[in-house]
Structure formats: C-alpha cells, structure tokens
Amino acid sequence: MAKESSNWGLSTRCVHAGTFEDTMAGGVNTPIFASSAFQVPGPTGRVVYPRYQNIPGQVAVAQKIAALENAQAGIVVSSGMAAISSIFLAFCQTGDHVVLQSDLYGGTLGLAQRDLPRRGIDVSWVDSHRIEEFEAALRPKTRLIYVETPSNPLMKILDLEALARMAQARGVLTVVDNTFATPINQNPLDLGIDIVVHSGTKYLNGHSDLCCGALACRSTLMETIAPVISLYGPSLSPYDCFLLERGLKTLALRMARHNQNAMAVASYLAQDSRVARVYYPGLTDHPKHAIAARQMRGFGGMLSFEPKGNAETAHRVMERFTLFKPAVSLGGVESLACFPVETSHASVPPNQREKMGIRDNLIRLSVGIEDTEDLLKDLDRALQATV
Ligand SMILES: Cc1ncc(COP(=O)(O)O)c(C=O)c1O
C-alpha cells in the first residue's frame, strides 16, 4: 500500500488510492493504456507487458485494491476463479494437502473436488465453524486453509482471528474469499489472514458489466503468486482495468446502501409469517452474529431465505418479483434473486447440497441500492404466492 493512502479513510482510498497521474493531459483519471507493446528500455527500466500485470492501468487498480485491503501488494486478473486457482497453483504441488470449508461458492468447490485431486493434491473438507475441527484436519503436508465468510449461499460466519491464530501456530497459510463482505465491511488481513481473494465481477466493480478477480497479500507471498499468474496468463485488459477502477471509486458509497437495504430486507423477511428461514449475519438471531459484529463493519448486501412451502411455491415467489431480477451473479447496483440449486451450486450433487443445508426452495438475494420501500413492496407482492 502506498504511504499516503494508509492515512486515508476507506472512502478516500476508493476514490484516490492508486490513481495513475496523467502527466500528458492532466486528466483526473488513470488513462487507458491500450498498448500491448511497450518500448525497451522504457521509462520504468523494466519490461512492461500486459501478461506480466505491470501496465499502468493494472498497477493502478491493483494498488487501489491493496490499499482497501490493507495489503502490501495486490493483483488483478480476468475472473474470480482465476484469482482462486492461482493460489492453489502457486502454493500447492503433488503430495500436498489443503483444507477447505465445505460451504463455498460452487466453482471453488468444483475446483477442489475435480481439479486438485487430478493434480495429486489431497483435499479435506470441514463442515463446521469450530476452529478445533480445522485444526484436526491439518496434516504434515497441509499447505493452506481456504474459507469464505460470509459464505455463499448460507451466510455462515467463521471467526477469522481465531482461524488465523491457529493456522499461524501450525505454519499453514490462510486464504479468505472476501467477495461477499468486500474490504469496506471486512479486512481479513488485519485479523491475521494471509491472502484475500475476490470475484471482482461482484461488488468491487459493482455494475454487473465486467468479469474480473483480484487478490491481496503481503509482498513476500505475492512474489510467489505473481510469476504463476504471468505464466498461466489470466491478465485483465486495460479497458477492463478502467471499468474496475471506475467502479471501485464508489464502492464505499454503494456498500453503505447495500448494507442498509439488506438489513431492512432481512428484518422484513424475518418477521413475515410466510417465510420459513432467513440467513443474514446482521440479524441478532444468526448463530454467529456476535462474531460477525466483531469482525465486520457492515453485514453486506447478500442474504438467503426460504419461503414457506416447497420448491414449487418458491418458484412462484420468484416469478412474481418485478424489481428482483432472476439472474446469476451478485453485487451489482440492481437487486437480483436466484435459486442456488440452479445457479451457483448447480454442479454440486443433490445429496451433497442437502448435507450442506442448501434446500431446493432456498432463494438467494443480492440486494441492490434501490429505494428500500420499493424492495419491500416487491417482496410483499412476491410472497403472496405462498398463500
Ligand atoms: C463468493 C464467490 N467467489 C468466487 C466467485 C467466482 O468469481 P468469477 O465468476 O468472477 O470467476 C464467485 C462467483 O459467483 C463467488 O460468488
């Protein structure tokens, strides 16, 4: 993180951190550097090339993300999965072992279930929030522990400080997918976690018009990760860097509204007799609310709920939404709704989904930044399908 930005608040970092000075025209934004060929020797004295992640637009946006995550180093890539897979590629080899929380984004589950074993990497799953169970899963060859909190789609919360303390004592790296929380609501590195990953496709960009990923960590770890990213090549184009940087400028503002709207929606659903269950860490009856309140500054824009009735009832609810659009993905300014069993977790076998607690009538909401009252009216109208 650049020196001056460490004194700024999060909103100021969103706007100013990393911005590349436009010395040619004096523009206030980082220019789009569209070249894939840069002169040698250039002004930096280094070979500059987009796949090496060192063109100015990539550096600018990576520095902004590092500043937001209180990290020494950041990097942006072409998808969240590229960021996630890069970590396993960088730190694990045949014969190694990793420990994953079992409640994870479906793509990460797929990577760990299908691809890591093919590379000779052993995977253990922990279906618990108890740090002792993560510790019990460790082996001499365990390289890293990978978790999400809040998790997708059941908003489970893990005590990051306790996890980091245990893992540090055992010499194991910890990785947190911070996509749902965003650096505005949670900074895992401050709690002792080693690496943060993001699907930047979601809140970081925030406008549902870009696929990208990011990771942030200390410089010594980045020295291992960056060369792997250069070799496998998931670089982010200068145009996409521009969009991501533009989106990030309003991240703090957007998250304040996402937090506020999601809390209102969760509270509304929690008191509605047409709803069986609500999953949102901001609700005081969430089993890990106290931990969430300790490690998060806001509870985020994501929540899940089960309307009373079966999957058919839930589908009728979904059909009645007008503002909540039935769509995959999340984290944009517009409200979205989806069935995890048909989208993020469609590739997870039904018996495994059932064990995870992801039922067929579970609806996940990505609560946008619209007027709260309009969202509540939309929910009320949709829930009439249950009676
Ligand atoms: C929590 C989480 N992590 C990672 C990903 C993967 O990100 P991407 O689709 O940008 O590769 C997703 C995608 O939905 C996600 O929800």
User: What's the domain range around 71?
Assistant: 4-249
Alpha-helical regions (H) of the chain:
10-16, 56-68, 80-91, 106-110, 116-118, 131-137, 160-170, 182-185, 219-232, 238-249, 251-270, 289-295, 311-320, 350-356, 372-383
Domain end marker among 249, 266, 299: 249
Choosing from 146, 149, 152 the residue with most ligand 1 atoms within 8 A of its CB, the one to mutate for a pocket test is 152
Instruction: Assess whether 57 and 177 both reside in one domain.
Output: yes
CA–centroid distance, 106 to ligand 1, in Å, is 8
Instruction: Assess whether 245 and 290 both reside in one domain.
Output: no
- Clarify whether 285 is annotated catalytic: no
Q: With 60 as the cut, is the pLDDT of residue 26 above it?
A: yes
CATH number, residue 222: 3.40.640.10
Strand partners, 326: 337
Write out the two tokens for 230.
């250069």
pLDDT of residue 258: 98
Domain end marker among 190, 220, 249: 249
Instruction: Assess whether 238 and 286 both reside in one domain.
Output: no
pLDDT in tens, 290-327: 999 999 999 999 999 999 999 999 999 999 999 999 99
Percentage of residues of the chain with pLDDT beyond 90: 90
CATH number, residue 275: 3.90.1150.10
Query: Considering Cα of 331, then 224, then 159, then 355, what sign does the dihedral take?
Result: positive
Domain end marker among 214, 249, 284: 249
pLDDT of residue 2: 56
- For residues 325-348, average pLDDT: 93
pLDDT of residue 1: 52
**Measured between alpha carbons, how far is 249 from 204 in angstroms, rounded to an integer?**
9
Q: With 90 as the cut, is the pLDDT of residue 4 above it?
A: no
**Measured between alpha carbons, how far is 284 from 219 in angstroms, rounded to an integer?**
38
Instruction: Assess whether 158 and 181 both reside in one domain.
Output: yes
pLDDT in tens, 206-240: 999 999 999 999 999 999 999 999 999 999 999 99
> Residue 44: helix, strand or coil by DSSP?
coil
Instruction: Assess whether 303 and 203 both reside in one domain.
Output: no
> What pLDDT band is residue 344 in, cutting at 50, 70 and 90?
confident
Instruction: Assess whether 274 and 142 both reside in one domain.
Output: no
Specify the residue for token string 């406008």.
207
- For residues 116-137, average pLDDT: 96
User: Of these residues, 51, 165, 277, 320, which one is catalytic?
Assistant: 51
- Clarify whether 105 is annotated catalytic: yes
Number of domains in the chain: 2
Specify the residue for token string 């987009």.
50
For the chain, what is the mean pLDDT?
A: 96
Instruction: Assess whether 292 and 210 both reside in one domain.
Output: no
Instruction: Assess whether 231 and 292 both reside in one domain.
Output: no
- Mean pLDDT lowest for which of 43-52, 83-92, 208-217, 269-278? 43-52
Whether the Cβ atoms of residue 222 and residue 75 lie closer than 8 Å to each other: yes
Instruction: Assess whether 181 and 296 both reside in one domain.
Output: no
Instruction: Assess whether 234 and 314 both reside in one domain.
Output: no
Instruction: Assess whether 151 and 276 both reside in one domain.
Output: no
Instruction: Assess whether 290 and 230 both reside in one domain.
Output: no
CA–centroid distance, 98 to ligand 1, in Å, is 20
Ligand 1: list residues with CB < 6 Å: 79-81, 105, 107, 148, 152, 177, 179-180, 199, 201, 211, 213, 344
- Clarify whether 51 is annotated catalytic: yes
- For residues 96-113, average pLDDT: 94
